[in-house]
Amino acid sequence: MRTWLGSLALLALSCSTPAAPPVHMQPESAGPVASQSVALPSVPLHVEQPAVGGPRTVIVVSDLHFGLGGRAEPGGAASWDTYEDFRWSREWAEFLQQLDAEAQQAGTAIDLVLNGDAFELWQSRSIACKSGDNDQGCSSDEALSRVQQVIAAHRHDLQALGQFAMRGDNRVVIVPGNHDAALLFPQVASAVMAASGAPPERLAVSLRGFWISADRRIYADHGHQIGLDPNGYHDWPRPFRERDGQTYLTRPWGEQFMQAFYNAYEDRYPIIDNVAAERDAVRFAISREGPMGLVQAVGKFVGFTLLKTSWNQRIDIARLNSPSAPEKETPPDDPKSRQQVFGSYLAGVLGSLRSQGIASQPVDLYVFSHTHGLDVGFELASGSPSGKTRVVNSGAWQRVVSADWLRAEGGRRQLAERDTLVGIRLEDLPPCYGVVRIRPYTAGEVPQPEVLYYQAAPGSRGRFSPSCP
């Protein structure tokens, strides 16, 4: 899920009658889940590309949001839980198989980076992670229970990932994002790695919170720490606090907002998070809810802000003047411009890398994610080997559509605009998934990102394309 906080209209859209939560049902195909009694792999702190070997292709995808899977319906039928965003197991397996087949044909290996929010660990039907402290999130045990539910629902997807990591000389690195920051608990990371079936030298979670190429020219992280994003964590990538002998995650304001407001909306409109521009999703929701829903929710949001957020969270909201996806048309010298926001962020990244002895100069390419918006990006002047840093966004390994597409599809189905969000299902959206691909390059070349969609229409072989129908 995206920040949803650049548009305060969405905050006002949370009506006072949320849908009744359905019963969570784990799929019959799911096997036993990892637990603390199972011998789990250790999580390496340093996740690196192989230092020697042949050419390597880097693939970056993000925001899969593996979630709760299925749910029980009256009469015993099964359907997707409305919280579940990842319904694309067939496409995922075909994507991994195609990546590997193309790499073998080209004589290369692949570094596959899952660049944050591979797991949806902010949403749960049964594990609330609640306390009297609004800054406190899940304990390590609660986070492990949540990830075990997700593993049970997506065991085959994780096994496909592990099988990919074991082919040839491939590697998989899972970078934590804001929705799966719990991966920074070593026992949670270990459970995920064990479920994949691949050894830690082939598939690992980055406890550093980022991925960097062996030559230090490509850097990737989720991007939720850019600017003053209320989905960001203090003390990343160690967003923990100790209390009464237990370790807990801290809870950013964005998580609190989603649990108090957003979940009820996703129950009613499962595709609301798949609209490319959040302002457009807001308009469709307003059209559906009507003016009374808007008025009721304004009061509810004010009450939430005053009664259910901590002072630290309110300070974060008040300081929110540089979003993680700055407007492109802002003049470059404006503090809110993408050049200034990303330039400042990457300077901080470089300082951290230098202090850890990891890198000494800026990178040629930065890949971030988080916003679900696939973007060819822009360039910043820097002291990198090429003299500039290219910034691109990997979008989401989700079906994301524009408002124009929704209106056209609604017109084709003869839907009134107010019925668009309920008349079009997630499965009806075009099967296009965001990918960034960086082909092998020599020491004298600059890494060149290809910002692509993986199109996977049923009955036809998937293909990479710069656009989505």
Nearest CA to 280 among 154, 102, 134, 405? 405
In this prediction, residue 7 has a pLDDT band, given cuts at 50, 70 and 90, of very low
pLDDT digits (tens, 9 = 90+) for 381-416: 999 999 999 999 999 999 999 999 999 999 999 999
Specify the range with the lowest mean pLDDT, choosing from 215-229, 245-259, 324-338: 324-338
pLDDT digits (tens, 9 = 90+) for 351-360: 999 999 999 9
What's the token pair of residue 40? 């789990």
Specify the range with the lowest mean pLDDT, choosing from 121-130, 307-316, 438-447: 307-316
Instruction: Say how many domains are in the chain.
Output: 1
Q: Are strands 388-394 and 365-368 parallel, antiparallel or unpaired?
A: parallel
Please determine, for residue 453, whether its predicted confidence score (pLDDT) is greater than 80: yes
Please determine, for residue 178, whether its predicted confidence score (pLDDT) is greater than 80: yes
Please determine, for residue 1, whether its predicted confidence score (pLDDT) is greater than 60: no
Please determine, for residue 94, whether its predicted confidence score (pLDDT) is greater than 90: yes
pLDDT score recorded for residue 31: 33
What mean pLDDT do residues 428-443 have?
96
- Flag whether 68 is in a domain: yes
pLDDT score recorded for residue 333: 75
pLDDT digits (tens, 9 = 90+) for 52-93: 678 999 999 999 999 999 876 676 667 899 999 999 999 999
In this prediction, residue 291 has a pLDDT band, given cuts at 50, 70 and 90, of low
pLDDT score recorded for residue 216: 95
Please determine, for residue 140, whether its predicted confidence score (pLDDT) is greater than 80: yes
CA atoms within 13 A on the CB side of 468: 25
Q: Is 52 exposed, middle or buried (0-12, 13-18, 19+ CB in 10 A)?
A: exposed
In this prediction, residue 36 has a pLDDT band, given cuts at 50, 70 and 90, of very low
What mean pLDDT do residues 130-134 have?
82
- Flag whether 38 is in a domain: yes
CA distance 209 to 226: 13
pTM of the model: 0.86
- Flag whether 117 is in a domain: yes
What's the token pair of residue 371? 């916003």
Please determine, for residue 316, whether its predicted confidence score (pLDDT) is greater than 80: no
- Flag whether 319 is in a domain: yes
Please determine, for residue 27, whether its predicted confidence score (pLDDT) is greater than 70: no
- Flag whether 292 is in a domain: yes
- Flag whether 204 is in a domain: yes
In this prediction, residue 303 has a pLDDT band, given cuts at 50, 70 and 90, of very low
In this prediction, residue 319 has a pLDDT band, given cuts at 50, 70 and 90, of very low
- Flag whether 134 is in a domain: yes
Rounded to 10°, the helix 278-307/403-412 angle is 110
Report the share of the chain in percent with pLDDT over 90.
63
pLDDT score recorded for residue 15: 41
Owning domain of residue 269: 8-465
pLDDT score recorded for residue 148: 98
pLDDT score recorded for residue 35: 33
Report the share of the chain in percent with pLDDT over 70.
79
What mean pLDDT do residues 254-259 have?
77
pLDDT score recorded for residue 322: 36
End-to-end CA, the chain:
22
Please determine, for residue 281, whether its predicted confidence score (pLDDT) is greater than 90: no
- Flag whether 3 is in a domain: no
Please determine, for residue 420, whether its predicted confidence score (pLDDT) is greater than 80: yes
Please determine, for residue 97, whether its predicted confidence score (pLDDT) is greater than 70: yes
Nearest CA to 266 among 251, 281, 279? 281
pLDDT digits (tens, 9 = 90+) for 101-124: 999 999 999 999 999 999 999 999
